[in-house]
Amino acid sequence: MFPSVRPRRLRTTPTLRRMVRENHLHPEDLVSPIFVVPGSGFAREVSSMPGVFQLSVDKAVEEAREVWNLGIPSVILFGIPEQKDAGATGAWHDHGIVQEASAAIKAALPDLVVMADTCLCEYTNHGHCGVIGLSDTMGHVLNDPTLAILGKTAVAQARAGADVIAPSGMMDGMVRAIRTALDEAGFTDTPILSYAAKYASAYYGPFRDAAESTPQFGDRRTYQMDPANSREALKEIALDIAEGADMLMVKPALAYLDILHRVKAATHLPVAAYNVSGEYAMVKAGALKGWIDEERVVMETLMSMKRAGADLILTYHAKDAARWLGA
């Protein structure tokens, strides 16, 4: 009349639940994004991302120190240059904003892992992730000329002290081009974290406010992946592995947990998930309205990514999550 198998027996106390927990989230799993701008003493909150700021280099160092003191091992840097141009000069110049921030952060915190987002959209005056033809008003990025600039950018970032190069532009052959450029410049030990499966997602909206990278015309669907496709993600990761990627990323994370799971099953490389700006902003908006319990929703969301297979999670919730984990 009564069940002999009772799964609830292992849920009776908090300690017992912790003992049989299948997945665990730690501060070491997290990477905290930082948006860096020119100037000094500057911190401006991003209106669509409460709690996230554009920071001058000195403030970025302070932010990185706070991240490190919370037990988070890494930051990823996004730069907003003082001037933008068609050649994305600020991306590859030795005194580009990410290069300046990398050098300053590594000088202050040598053990912190600095990742550099290696893309051109923040640096071009049209907002696309590469070279555009002179008469193009649709946003068709010229793939191969863009590879040359990405290679120069990666070398400049590594020279400035970046520990990890993270190309996000979804150009065909970008990992091989960057690996070749790094090796030829003597940075054979600098790993590449490829945004291998990056979808053309509506979840990126707030990021474009933070990075000031909204395309001035057209969209990014000719180079970012179609959200309807999953097998294509496996093709993309296979190509990046063959080209020399050391780690792989799925972006966005929350609406693509199935992709994350499939990528993890298909490779032995470390896999990262990017808990993107739109996912962050929705949680923040709901929490500010009092509609949800922010801590529980954030931790459940991050655990879903860990459960799906993420070894690393890039998230704007990183500092809060680390505090909650340590509470």
Q: Give the residue numbers annotated as catalytic, written as ranges.
A: 198, 251
- Between CA 152 and CA 71 the distance in angstroms is 32
Which of 236, 241, 218 has the alpha carbon at shortest distance from 226?
236
Task: Give, in order, the Cα–Cα distances in Å from 236 to each of 110, 200, 248, 294.
Answer: 33, 14, 10, 34
Burial of 210: CB neighbours in 10 Å, binned 0-12, 13-18, 19+: buried
Burial of 307: CB neighbours in 10 Å, binned 0-12, 13-18, 19+: middle
Count CA atoms within 13 Å of residue 92 on its CB side. 20
Query: Buried (b) or exposed (e) across 148-173, using 16+ Cβ within 10 A?
Result: ebbbbbbbbbbbbbbbbbbbbbbbeb
> Residues 309, 260: contact at Cβ < 8 Å?
yes
Task: Give, in order, the Cα–Cα distances in Å from 62 to each of 36, 85, 109, 156.
Answer: 12, 30, 10, 23
